[in-house]
Amino acid sequence: MTGRDEGRQARARLVLWELWRAYQQVAETRQVACAPGCHVCCSGRVLLTTLEARLLAEELTASGQRGLLALAARAPAAFGPACTHNALARLCLAGQEPPPDPGPDPGPGPEGRCPLLRGGLCVAYAARPMACRVMCSLTRCQPGGAASQDPWWVTVDTVFLQLVEQVDAGGGWGPMPRVLASLERGGGPGLARCENLPGLPVPPEDQERLSRLLEQVFSRPLNGQPLGLWINRLRI
């Protein structure tokens, strides 16, 4: 890794942690039925960026659970959407249809659980990816059922997932086992490429409310500069 790459990595880490904190604050007012120990949603289908996977790996190493990394990297991961969040947004803004996802979703694997779930709790909760943070439901999910979502929060969640992708622009994205395996190997095939934020294809009824929310998020200070500026500097 060159000095420039290392500098970018360090900035991206700072920004990602700040975005996670920003989302936590934004979501404080969200009405959810979620509670500690409720884990039907921890199904092992988590999609994340390589940067998120690095932070997850560091969290597991720091808590002495590095062995779980190898386990998670070996879990079944045939499911992988064709498009990242920003690729989908780019196609949507251009009025184009996204390509079909490659093959049917084979399900979360024989155990049906995320390999990082232990005793009903996430072992890497502090560094869980954005896809896990946005997974909430208005009513308690049932096995095999779906979460019940407020459309406004679907908009907010999608925007945060787009921002997290922007932070790792040029990096990889895909199902957790595949991303962790690629980290262990130092790269490899099978991951989609994180893209720059192309814009936000937001429903008209949410636009005003969202721009107020983003104003707050982007003006959060991070080492003396607004978060929005940091995010913008991570464009490639």
- For residues 133 to 172, the per-residue mask of contacts with ligand SF4, x marking binding by CB under 6 A and - elsewhere, is --xxx--xx-----x-------------------------
Q: How far is the CB of 207 from ligand SF4 (least distance, A)?
A: 27
- Measured in degrees and rounded to the nearest 5, phi and psi for residue 24 equal -60, -45
Contact 108, 78 (CB under 8 A): no
Question: To which H or E segment does residue 193 belong?
Answer: strand 192-193
Distance of alpha carbon 41 from alpha carbon 129, whole angstroms: 13
Instruction: Work out how close the CB of 209 gets to ligand SF4 at its nearest, in angstroms, rounded to a whole number.
Output: 23
- Shortest gap between Cβ of 223 and ligand SF4 (angstroms)? 28
Identity of the residue, 46 or 194, whose beta carbon is nearer to ligand SF4 in the bound complex: 46
The CA R_g of the chain, rounded to the nearest whole Å, is 17
Instruction: Give the count of residues interacting with ligand SF4 (CB under 6 A).
Output: 20
Site for ligand SF4 contains 46 (CB under 6 A): yes
Q: Is residue 69 a contact point for ligand SF4 (CB under 6 A)?
A: no
- If the CB atoms of residues 109 and 195 are measured against ligand SF4, the closer one turns out to be 109
Q: How far is CA 230 from CA 130, 184, 235, in A?
A: 18, 28, 10
Q: Is 38 near ligand SF4 (CB under 6 A)?
A: yes
Number of CB atoms found within 10 A of residue 71's CB: 13
Q: How many CB atoms lie within 10 A of CB 98?
A: 13
14, 196, 199 from 92: Cα distances, Å: 30, 14, 10
220 lies in the site for ligand SF4, by CB under 6 A:
no
Q: Is residue 191 part of the contact set for ligand SF4 (CB under 6 A)? A: no
Q: Which residues bind ligand SF4 (CB under 6 A)?
A: 33-34, 38, 40-42, 46, 114, 116-117, 122, 124, 128, 132, 135-137, 140-141, 147
